Every structure is written in C-alpha cells, then in structure tokens.
Amino acid sequence: MVEVDGIVTSIVYKNDDNGYTVAKIKCEQDMENYSIVGYMHYLSEGQRVHIKGEWTYHKSFGKQIKVDSFEEILPTTLEGVEKYLASGLINGIGPVTAKKIIKAFGEKALDIIEMNPERLTEVEGIGSRKAKKIGESLKEQRELKEIMIFLQSHGITPSYGIKIFKKYGAASITVLRENPYSLCEDIQGIGFKTADKIAKSLGMNVNSPFRIASGIKYVLSTAVGNGHVYLPKEECIKKSAAELKVDASLIGEGINTLNLNRDIVVDEVEEVTCIYLSPMFFSEVKSAKKIVELTLNRIDVETEKVDIEIKDFEKENNISFAPEQIDAIKEGVKNGVCVITGGPGTGKTTIIKCIIKIFENRSLNVCLCAPTGRAAKRMSESTGYEAKTIHRLLQVEFISDSDRNTFAKDENEPIEADVIIVDEASMIDVMLMNSLLKAMSSTTRLILVGDVDQLPSVGPGNVLLDIIESGGIAVARLQHIFRQSMESLITINAHKINNGDMPILNEKDKDFFFLQNNSADGIIKEIANLVNVRLPKFKKDLDRMKDIQVLSPMKKGEAGIIHLNNALQEILNPKSPSKTEKKVGEYILRVGDKVMQTKNNYQLTWESLTIEGEEGSGIFNGDIGYIERINTEDSKAYIIFDEDKRVEYDFSSLDEIELAYAITIHKSQGSEFPVCIIPVFYGPPMLMTRNLIYTGVTRAKSFLVLIGVKQTLSTMIKNKTITKRYSSLKNRIKNFCEVIK
C-alpha cells in the first residue's frame, strides 16, 4: 500500500457513468508526476488529494498508482483557496472570478460559498442567479464526496456509488439508513447479498420487515434463475427461513405483507399454494389465456387445394414428404396455434418452407423469428426468408433511466403479420413468450417449431413442453428421418441417444467419433491436439477458430470450460508483445480472442463494417465475436460480432464477456457449428443427463468428436433425469380450454 498527497495536474480520461478516471498527479513527497487510475468520480484538475493505492507498471504508460481510495484535502492558505476556486471544479468560477472572490472574502471564501452563497452578489459581475448556481455546484460536490465516502466505508464500489447518487441524490445516505434493501429494487446489479451486508454494517435488525420482504423476493428470484416460475409455499418458507436464519413464522408474515402489496402473488394451482413474483404470475396467466384465444382462430382450408400445393412443392424441390410431415403441414396451415416438434433430420425446415409457400399463395404476411441471433441467422439461411430475433421483431427499446428494456410492439401496437413462425421454440421462457403473445393480434396465427427433447430454456418455465402436454393445442410430432439425413451418423446417433441407446462409434468415413481418455488432463491435451493439428490436417479447409467449437457439460470442474478456454487460448491465440490484453475475472482477454457475450445488453450499440452508416443496438446472451482491439489508455475494447458488427465496450462492461473457444452446452442452444468436440467426463448426476448430451450432439453440423470415458457416456444416456421446474402453464391452458368448451 502506498499513500501520497498531491495536486491533480490533468484529467486524461473520465467515464462519467461509472467514475473510472485516468489522471496525472504531482506528488508532494518527491515532486514527481505520476499517473493515477481508478474510480474517482469527483476528481478534478487543481484538486489537492490524499491517495491510497498500489504501484503498478503499465507497458505503455510506465509507473502508475492503482487507486483504492482517495479524499480531497481542502486548502487552508489564501493562495490554496484561490487555486482551488480557479481550478474549474466549481461551475461558474474561473481564474478571474476566483481572484475577485478572494479579494472580497479572503480565506472565508469557501465557507461563504457553501453557507451563504447569496453574499456572492457582493462581488462585481456575480448576479443572484450565478451566485445560486455557484453555491449549488459546491454543495453537490460536497454531497457527492460525503456520500461516496459513506458508501465506500460500507463496501460499495465507486461505480455502484455513482448509480446510487444518481438515483437518490442528496437523500442517498438517508435512504440507505432507512432501508438499504431498496437498492435491490432500484439499482441494477445490486442484489440482496450486497444490500444485506450494508444493512448489517449499519446495524439493522435481522428480523426487520424490510429484510424479510427482500429476502423472500431474493429466494423467489433465485428460483426463477433456476428455471422455476413459482415456488410451493412450504418450500418458499423453508428456503427463505434458512437463507435469512430467522423463524419461519416471520416468513409467513412477510409473504402475507408482500401479497397485500402485490409484490408477489399467492395462488392455488392443483391444490398447491404457489408463491409467484408478480411478473412471473402475470406472464404465465396471460400467456395461457392468449394461447387459448389464438386457438379459436381456426381457418377453413380447402383440403384438396392444400394437397395439390403440397404435391407441387414436392415436385419443385424434388422431394417426397412422409405422411407425418404432410400432416404437420396441414396442421400448421389450418390451426390458430400449432406446435411442430421433432429431432434432427426430420425435415422441420422443409416443412416450414412448404407452409410459407402455401401462405404466400394466399397473400398472407409471414414473419419468421427465433429466440437468439444465431438461431435466427440459421433460420434465414435454411429457409431463404428473412428471420429476426424475437427481440428485434418486438422492437426492443432500452430505458436508460431504469437500466431495463421494453418492447415497442405490444397490445397497443401489435406486430403486422398474419402468421408468426418461431424456430427453436424450446428456448423460449415464459416472460419472452408473454411479450410475443401480447404483441400478436387475435387474428394472427402462431406456429412453434422446436425439439422438445432438448434442454429447456435458460429462463423460467417449460413453455414448449407445457403447451404440448396441455392437450389443448394442435401438435405435430416428427419421427421419420429423411433419406439424406440417414447418411449422417450425427443424425442417427442423436435419435439413438434420445431413445436411450448407445450411439454407433468410429465407423470409417463417417462423421461421429469417440476417443477414449480417462483423465481430465489427457482430455484437455487431446482436445488441444485435435483443434490445433489433427482436425485441420484431416479437413484442409477448416478454420480452427471459426469452424471448431468445443462444448462442455460444465463451466467449472476439471474438464469445464474455464480450464479448456485457458488451454485453447494458449494454443490458438498465445501471448505476444503485439497483442494487448486485459485481465477480466477468471480470464485474460487478448486481441484476437474468440469471445462470447454472456447476458442480454440492449444498450450496447454497433456499427456495420460492410454497410456504411448502418448502426444498431443490442448484443445478446450467446453472441460470439472476436476481439479486434484493446485500448488501455481509453479503457475501451472493440469486438466484432457476426463478422460485421463492431461494438465498443468500456472496460467496466467486460464482465459480460468471456472466452468462447469452449462454451457450455447450455449456451450452445439454438446454434449449429461445422465441427463440435465434446468432453465426456465425470460430473454431477443432475447435470450429466440424456437431454444434455443429446442437445450437445445436435449442435454439430458435419463432424463430431466425443472425448472421454465411454462408461460416462453410457451413464448419461441412461440418465433420463429432468430437473423438475415449477410451472403451471400446462394447467392454466387446460383450465382456459375447459372454460371455452
């Protein structure tokens, strides 16, 4: 730890949103000039400050002090006060005005500005409006400083401190003392755990109603993060009491209060008392109601004419549909809502194309969409029609004041479409489904296409499965594999795995291979060798970076993506003096790295590299890109997504980025890669399941290699365990269907 006093001579860079600053300081101890870097929102040129931090060395800028904390040293001499006033720190005062103020009030100038700013009108050239502005500026500086010191003393980082000050202003300390748990509701990124630490440091009672209420919502939010739409009341009470370490009776009282305030909803489903966060409840109920409403939109179609159109399509495309595929086309054409589900090679894409053609013959407007950018891109490439992400179709808008997003398309301004076809529907959670349904007029038809045997959505709910199992919606199940797909062992083995059978392995001149290796280190080394040597040698036109994707069942663990990414980065993009890098979390990010966005960020803007002047916003969870440039002086990184979209990241946003040489199978949903490598190693039984390995296998387009323990593969295929998700969409659809009968 180093402590120095000095004068800020210049501000090199400042991010006004989070306070990250690079500045120059003249150190009073040795009269040397140093760079200081850190979160210092209220730092200005001319300030005298006391700095605490650590010496670091930057390869371009030399010796620096990485600031942990700092405080302003107010001047005590006449000369010091004048310099302080002339520094520009206080709005409305420059060098000339500073001299006049010092001449009028001497060393008492700062006290007068703060306590009696109206007296500034005694100075020539300062009117009442300017005097008020100067007083408010100094007051805001002092308030911000006091609040930041208070927040930092309670473990709140400067970046969050700025957000808190922007939200609550001068009342920040008062709000936190009264109810620190309000941070969970008002400040994006601050959760219950952080608020609870602050509350503890402020001496708040552990049985406080504020704490109980916030803790219950935290437990429900955690459940939502694990895929649940609600928790049974008994489980909610048990988990909340354990988390908060309080008596269960207090949780019961808290649930009643939250229910009265409509922060949560208590509802009976199938004789079970269910506790919902309000948005979850209304998303589920409204989704069920709208789905049933759309089913009433049945269309009378001329069966003979449709039969002719299907035969014409078969002739034009030189194909022959199986009976179940013809049934799927007809179900999609005649129903207000229809689900088409099937595994790889069952012709879902061809069926979609035929349905679109039939609708086009009737001059109907068809919109295609998918939950992710990569899935939408695949849909466009495979059908030949434009497909959008659901977010783009709904015209997502970011609300900067609340750090949240909304959709321009809703019940007041619905999507202009006669038919909406959604691919990869297994990835849709209940919140997104509600937003999509809300933006559909009652006459629009909905066709959901997906593989119900894949992993469920990352978000809450079991939407596709619930719709299918409700019994009230038309469902077309595809099992027949097309002749050309029968040539691929990837397709054949995916169906074998889904049926609980071991796949066919290592047939010559085929596309599905298994390499036995019993150690995690051996698996990682073998994967590195495959990526770097064997596969590029075997397939000459293979791009090691773009065409090969490693998929792991786990993030952590011996064969998890963290270890794999570090090993693959060392081979594919090794450290070099010519490549700037930045340490972020568990990874070092380096120019040239393959990376992934890990959360939806609607605020990020991008510019097109191929179409001059084209811009857009929104980079989404699962988007893969490559680091083009890292600028440590400006604290910026530039990443190219989809080979065309350049995005500028502030260093403070890089926690949303991680290496993507290896990604989890969960993150691969909706994607397809030319070559996939999957480590099959020991892991938790709840994770190592049939639908996980099935999902991973179906991501490979032309070549797949499994590496690991054959017994583990066999165990996964036998493990049909599907973690139960609390969701009542199925029951609600059933109930609404009974009402309209």
**R_g (Cα) of the chain, nearest Å:** 30
Q: Environment class of residue 306 by beta-carbon count within 10 Å: exposed (0-12), middle (13-18) or buried (19+)?
A: middle
317 contacts: CB under 8 Å, gap ≥ 6: 350, 353
- Name residue, tokens 């107010």: 74
Phi, psi of 434 (to 5 degrees): -60, -40
Whole-angstrom Cα distance, residue 441 to residue 448? 16
Contacts 24+ apart (CB under 8 A), 387-391: 387/423, 389/620, 390/422, 390/428, 390/432, 390/435, 390/436, 391/600, 391/602, 391/618, 391/620
Residue 692 CB-half CA count within 13 A:
30
- Please check if 701 is assigned to a binding site: no
What is the β-pairing status of strands 615-619 and 601-608? antiparallel
In sequence order, the 6+-apart residues with CB closer than 8 A to the CB of 99 are 82, 86
> Could you please report the per-residue DSSP string of 180-209?
TTHHHHHSTT--HHHHHHHHHHTT--TT-H
Give the whole-angstrom CA distance, residue 557 versus residue 682.
9
Query: What is the C-alpha to C-alpha distance for residues 588 and 569, in angstroms, rounded to an integer?
Result: 9
Separation of alpha carbons 599 and 225, rounded Å: 13
Token digits for 247? 């008596």
Note whether 54 and 37 are within 8 A (CB).
Answer: no
Q: How many residues would you count in the chain?
A: 741
Q: Tokens 């808290």: give the residue.
A: 254
Query: Are 333 and 447 in contact, with CB atoms under 8 Å apart?
Result: no
**Chain centroid to CA 122: how far?**
56
Distance of alpha carbon 215 from the chain centroid:
23
> Checking DSSP bridges between strand 62-72 and strand 48-58, what pairing results, if any?
antiparallel
In degrees, rounded to 5, the angle at the alpha carbon of residue 242 between the alpha carbons of residues 238 and 247 is 80
Under 8 Å between Cβ of 463 and 371: no
Question: What residues contact 308, with CB distance under 8 A and at least 6 apart?
Answer: none
Count of alpha carbons within 13 angstroms of residue 372, beta-carbon side = 26
CA distance 148 to 162: 8
The Cα–Cα gap between 106 and 94 comes to 16
Residue 79 and residue 146: Cα distance in Å, rounded?
25
Q: Give the closest residue to 214 by CA, choosing from 247, 188, 179, 246.
A: 179
Is residue 633 left, alpha or beta, with left meaning phi > 0 and alpha meaning psi from -120 to 50? alpha
The two tokens of residue 241 are 């009491």
Task: Tell which residue, 137, 153, 728, has the closest CA to residue 469.
Answer: 728
CA distances from 645 to 149, 237, 456, 598, 616 (A): 40, 47, 29, 17, 9
Tokens linked to 93: 């005062």
**Does 194 count as an annotated binding residue?**
no
Is 346 marked within a binding site? Answer: yes
Separation of alpha carbons 427 and 459, rounded Å? 8
Give the integer Cα–Cα distance in Å for 623 and 722. Answer: 27
Q: Binding-site residues for ATP, please?
A: 345-349
Q: Binding-site residues, please?
A: 345-349
